[in-house]
Amino acid sequence: MSRKLLLVLLLPVLLVACDRVNYQTDANYSYLTINLTAQETRNILVGLLTGGDRPIMRTASVELRQGEVFVSGDVNDGRGGTVPGTLAARIWAENGRISAAVTQFSFGGFSADQALINRINTDIANGLAASSNRSSSDSDISSLSLSPNGLSFTIRTPIQR
């Protein structure tokens, strides 16, 4: 997952020519703000879910909500087939890092109870924390906004003196 997150964070390089990036500085920090439309955000998320060596889903549809993403589609069942599934997750910035929490989970007729959702969220938090601990960067995510209109986030980096 960290490689996929890195891809999302490297996206600004590709978007500079598309006027989707805003760069500002103050006395202590530089700020790189990336603004993605709803369609660009959905395309990235669908690619993350359906691409790679071991895709999570065979097909995916993404709906952006205020602070939350809702995904539905055909989930790989591990035996070569698929089952229908839905997943809703909140995404936000906290303490300079991206955070996420599952709010709804239903795959192949199995719906997770709150105890399982809590365990999944603990695993997500631990994975994101481990990924950020491996990073040697002083940069952090100072803001993140997810809405039906798209995704915007700001990377804040201390100015070296």
Domain boundaries, the chain: 15-158
Find where tokens 């890195």 sit.
Answer: 6
Closest CA to 144 of 81, 85, 100, 106: 100
15-27 pLDDT tens trace: 544 567 888 999 9
Q: HSE (CB half, 13 Å, CA atoms) of 34?
A: 22
- The pTM (predicted TM-score) of the whole model is 0.75
Query: Are the beta carbons of 60 and 68 closer than 8 angstroms?
Result: no
86-142 pLDDT tens trace: 989 999 888 888 888 888 888 877 777 888 878 877 877 777 666 655 555 688 888
